[in-house]
Each structure stands twice: as C-alpha cells, then as structure tokens.
A and B are shown apart, each in its own frame.
Chain A
C-alpha cells in the first residue's frame, strides 16, 4: 500500500491526519522513536506499576504533593491522539499542552527543551503507532499555592532557564553524551540539588540531589572517581544494572529497567565520556582495612546480620549479594543511602541476562538506631575510608521521614 492509498483509506475511514502520520512512518523511524522514548525514560512516569506501558497513572511524589504521569498513548480523550507532531514537540520542549495548560515541571520539559525536532518526530511516530487506550490518569494533588497552575508561568520565567551552549570545542562524542545525559536522559532532574521552590540549582549541575528519601549521588568526574568509578564501570552499570561498585536500587533501578539497559554501547560510551571527561581521573581504591577496630560493636553487628550474605571479609557472594569492598554506597560522604537500605531493605531485583539479586531484609525491627549507627560507621570506616560520623540521632532523622 503506497502513501496515496493509505491517505485515501484513512480519509475514507474518517481517521485524523495523526493516524496517517504513524501509518506512514517506516520501521526504522518507529525503531528510532522507540529507542528515543526509552532513552528519555518516558515509561518511568507514564506507566503505573503493573500497568500497560505509556497508559499513565504512575504517581510521582514531590515535596508539594503527588503528580500523576498521564496517558501518552494515541487516545483522543486522555492521550495524545489529537496532537499534531508540532503540538507534541511543543509539549515536550515547553511543557505546555495544545490548550495552553502548563504542565508541572515534574515533566522534565526544561531538560527536553533541547530535544532535536527530528528526534521529537520519531518519538511522536512511535507513540502514535501504539494501540490507543481510553485510560484517564488520577487528578494531580498538590498543596496550595502549587495547585494553581498559573503560578507556573512565573516559575518558568524564573527557573526554566536557557539551553546549554553549543560547546563547539568539545568532541562529537562528548556532545552526544551531553545530549543523552542532560537532555534525553534528564539525569540532572535527580542528580542536581533543588531549591525551596523545587527548581534545579543550575550552578550545582549533577552535584547530587535527594529523591524519595535517597541520595542521587554527585556525577561530577572527581566525585565519581573518588567513589571508585571508571568510565568502563559506568557503562557496565548502566547496561547491566550492576557492576563492581554494587547494584542499582531505589529510583535508579526503575531507570535501568525502563531506559538505560536499552541504550546502545556507543551512547553509553558517550555518556561516560561526558560525565568523566576525555581524561578521567583515576578511580580511588580504598584498602579494606581495620580502621574501626576488630572488636568494634559495628564489626559484631556486621558478623551477626550481614556477613552471612555479604561475606565475613566483605567479599560478597556472586549472583547473590554485593561485595562491601569497593561498594560505592559505602563511600558516599552522606550516610543517608546506607542507613536507609539497612533500615528498609531492598526488594528482590532482576538485572540483565539471568542476573538476579535476592531481597535484602530491612533491619528496622532487628537493630536499634544506635546499633544501625555503629554498623554504618563500621562499614564506612572499613570499606569507605570515611570517619565515624553517624550517630543514633542521625539515623532517627533519616528514617523518620522521606524528603
């Protein structure tokens, strides 16, 4: 069937021109669109747990209330079925719906602002090729004054910011990496601190943020290397969900499942080049030592409740439990993530191939705050090369609320 016959058929069936768009998109465009939609991690916010991909309904917790990802399938009532490619591009890059409604910046239009028009069109073609589903997302529930959408115009004026410069002096691979990290991947949305109004602190780009109570660590070259990362390890981590530095958990585990595991090797290389530079700093090695003392309370807690899986010497068990030696979470200056995983545990996880990690139990009801502090300090001293700075009060504060 050629283009003319498709058009005639579509008109005869009363289909809109948007359907013609998807019908005429070739397979390579659809494949590229799917790749870009995955790279942009659209599913994370537009797919609820156990729901149909891109049919919406996923709750996104913010400090101001809960925003729900909408249906981005080609349904005319609740999805993007009536959008033209121009309108889709406008929504994607400006955060404004065709009827003028301004989206909340939980949708990362400030990052997507620099998406190439051709990429937007491929994403549009792919999404329009999906089966429409007539599913409405729950109403967004934000506290006042954030519930007043018109205030977003001021927010955008203050914080939406400009596109990054051309950076013509950088290599093509570096620029591709920046596009994948800063634009499509919108990594900065989690890995950059935010101000009181929820806007990214652009001067502290990729210097670490907090999401769902967990730290999204700094991704600057020096800090990555200080925590033991090499560009190759970063690529492995994004592709496999795990590396010698540990496994993904919390929000990053979702990113891996919906997005990073699908990325091509050349894009993963470009991302690590952008993040760590053309001449990456050497990864720092921490000697597994005995800074905490052989008879420290933390060591005893470790042997009592951790060593069965993670090994008495922190060596880990392949395919079962990660090693403590070289683990990046133990090397973060802020002990938040370590405290929280010990307190809450981590559910069973699936990674690339047949790799699995069993559930790690939480010890909220097994260890007191003081004992968790002793354990965390032991772990950080022994395998993180850090000082014992966590106390019971800090554990109480971190486990009492999600920020």
Chain B
C-alpha cells in the first residue's frame, strides 16, 4: 500500500512525521500509530458518530469530523482534539481537572455503556465553543442542543441525560447565552 508522510497536531502536541499508508482511515491512525483508543469505531459508516474528533480551524472555530470514513491524510497539517485531550493533566499525565462538558456528563451520569460518549463529548465541546463565539438567546438553547447532538446515536438511548448535561455545561460556561434574542 503506498504511503505518504503525515504531519498532524493532536491535543496540542505535534506528532512525529512519518510515512502513513494512503488508504488508512484516521481512526486507525489514532489507534494503531498514536495509541489513542478513546475514539471509538462504531458503525464504520459515518452514521453513529462515535468516532468524531474535533478539528481546530485557523480562524479559531472548531468542527466535528468523523474519523471512520475520513482518511488520515485529510488531516495533514491540521490540529485536532480527541477525547483524551479535554481534561487538564499534571506533568506526569494524570488528570487534574475534567472539562466542563466531561464534568457535567459525570454528574448527570449521562452514559451507560459509554461507547458513544467520546463522540458526544466532542460534539458538546464544539457546541459550547461555538456558543462562546456566537451566544444565543436562552429560549433557543433546547433546540440548539438538539440540532447539535441529534446526529449522534446512543444505543443505550441515554439521550435525555446527555442533553441535560450539555444544557448545564452550556449554562455553566459564561457568555454562551443571553436573556433575549
């Protein structure tokens, strides 16, 4: 299988540039080359979105990208975040503080089997960051959360607790909502 060099930054760290097979999907690169197994292989068809990671764009915005159907080389030169990159860690790599989204997921006991949780964490994080840049009226919050998360599938059907956690994560993040539109 032909290979090409791939240069990518993951969770703030530039990864070693090395030759990666051209046909490798990003999810396999994360698992096999970087040992980042928190990104889940779910349906393998881009449907369930358990494999979602975050791409940070040069303009400061962020977006979700599915890694089971997107080639590793699509990410060449890009900065991405995986579920392993949200918590603050100490110098030894131990978790010090969870992100607001992660903390709310824990407090609401949002996940059951947790297989879809990495995708939901990333989707919720992208949403919170978007709302920090573009606040919405408080009255629009429910619909906005639904639109942001509705493509993510949870086979344990834990949607209500996910949504409630994300609502609290948004409300606990300053500047994301305003009283009137």
Interface residues of A (CB under 8 A from B): 294-295, 300, 303-305, 307-309, 312, 317, 320-321, 358, 361
Q: How far is the CA of A294 from the CA of B23 in the complex (A)?
A: 12
| B66 CB → nearest A CB, Å | 8
Q: Which of A294, A308, A312 contacts B46 (CB 8 A)?
A: A308
Could you tell me if B45 and A309 are in contact, using CB atoms closer than 8 angstroms? yes
Residues of A within 8 A of B73 (CB): 300, 303-304
- For the complex of A and B, the 3 pairs showing the least CB-CB separation, nearest first, are A308-B69, A304-B74, A304-B71
| A142 CB → nearest B CB, Å | 35
Q: How far is the CA of A304 from the CA of B22 in the complex (A)?
A: 8
Q: How far is the CA of A120 from the CA of B39 in the complex (A)?
A: 60
Interface residues of B (CB under 8 A from A): 2, 22-23, 25, 45-47, 68-71, 73-74
| B16 CB → nearest A CB, Å | 21
Could you tell me if A300 and B22 are in contact, using CB atoms closer than 8 angstroms? yes
Could you tell me if B2 and A308 are in contact, using CB atoms closer than 8 angstroms? no
Could you tell me if A308 and B70 are in contact, using CB atoms closer than 8 angstroms? yes
13 contacts between A and B (CB under 8 A): A294-B2, A295-B2, A303-B22, A303-B23, A303-B73, A304-B71, A305-B70, A305-B71, A308-B46, A309-B46, A309-B69, A320-B45, A361-B46
| B65 CB → nearest A CB, Å | 9
Summarize B's interface: helix, strand, loop or mixed: loop
Residues of A within 8 A of B71 (CB): 303-305, 307-308
Residues of B within 8 A of A361 (CB): 46
Residues of B within 8 A of A309 (CB): 45-46, 69
| B142 CB → nearest A CB, Å | 23
| B123 CB → nearest A CB, Å | 15
Residues of A within 8 A of B70 (CB): 304-305, 308
Q: How far is the CA of A358 from the CA of B71 in the complex (A)?
A: 19
Could you tell me if A308 and B22 are in contact, using CB atoms closer than 8 angstroms? no
Query: Please, which residue of chain B has its CB at the minimum distance from the CB of A311?
Result: B23
Q: How far is the CA of A300 from the CA of B45 in the complex (A)?
A: 19
Q: How far is the CA of A305 from the CA of B68 in the complex (A)?
A: 10
Q: How far is the CA of A357 from the CA of B144 in the complex (A)?
A: 27
Query: Please, which residue of chain B has its CB at the minimum distance from the CB of A360?
Result: B46
Query: Please, which residue of chain A has its CB at the minimum distance from the CB of B72?
Result: A304
Residues of B within 8 A of A307 (CB): 23, 71
Asked, given contacts A320-B45, A358-B45, A358-B47, whether A312 binds B23 with beta carbons under 8 Å apart, the answer is yes
Q: How far is the CA of A300 from the CA of B73 in the complex (A)?
A: 8
Residues of A within 8 A of B69 (CB): 305, 308-309
Residues of B within 8 A of A321 (CB): 45
Residues of A within 8 A of B47 (CB): 358
Q: How far is the CA of A342 from the CA of B69 in the complex (A)?
A: 15
| A162 CB → nearest B CB, Å | 52
- With most chain A CB atoms within 10 A of its CB, the pick from B25, B45, B47, B71 is B71
Seed contacts A300-B73, A304-B70; 12 additional CB < 8 Å A-B pairs: A295-B2, A303-B73, A305-B74, A307-B23, A308-B25, A308-B46, A308-B68, A308-B70, A309-B46, A317-B45, A320-B45, A358-B47
Q: How far is the CA of A208 from the CA of B46 in the complex (A)?
A: 34
Residues of B within 8 A of A295 (CB): 2
Query: Please, which residue of chain B has its CB at the minimum distance from the CB of A301?
Result: B74
Q: How far is the CA of A361 from the CA of B73 in the complex (A)?
A: 19
Residues of A within 8 A of B74 (CB): 304-305
Q: How far is the CA of A321 from the CA of B69 in the complex (A)?
A: 12
Q: How far is the CA of A309 from the CA of B45 in the complex (A)?
A: 6
Residues of A within 8 A of B2 (CB): 294-295
| A402 CB → nearest B CB, Å | 25
Q: How far is the CA of A295 from the CA of B73 in the complex (A)?
A: 13
Q: How far is the CA of A317 from the CA of B25 in the complex (A)?
A: 15
Residues of A within 8 A of B23 (CB): 303, 307, 312
Query: Please, which residue of chain B has its CB at the minimum distance from the CB of A308?
Result: B69
Residues of A within 8 A of B68 (CB): 308
Q: How far is the CA of A295 from the CA of B3 in the complex (A)?
A: 10
Q: How far is the CA of A317 from the CA of B46 in the complex (A)?
A: 13
- With most chain A CB atoms within 10 A of its CB, the pick from B47, B70, B73 is B70
Q: How far is the CA of A379 from the CA of B71 in the complex (A)?
A: 17
| B31 CB → nearest A CB, Å | 15
Residues of B within 8 A of A304 (CB): 70-71, 73-74
| A360 CB → nearest B CB, Å | 9
| A315 CB → nearest B CB, Å | 12
| B35 CB → nearest A CB, Å | 22
Q: How far is the CA of A247 from the CA of B15 in the complex (A)?
A: 41
- With most chain B CB atoms within 10 A of its CB, the pick from A300, A303, A321, A358 is A303
| A45 CB → nearest B CB, Å | 31
Q: How far is the CA of A337 from the CA of B90 in the complex (A)?
A: 53
Residues of B within 8 A of A312 (CB): 23
| B173 CB → nearest A CB, Å | 25
Residues of B within 8 A of A308 (CB): 25, 46, 68-71
Q: How far is the CA of A314 from the CA of B74 in the complex (A)?
A: 18
Q: How far is the CA of A295 from the CA of B47 in the complex (A)?
A: 30
Query: Please, which residue of chain A has its CB at the minimum distance from the CB of B27?
Result: A308
Q: How far is the CA of A304 from the CA of B6 in the complex (A)?
A: 12
Residues of B within 8 A of A303 (CB): 22-23, 71, 73
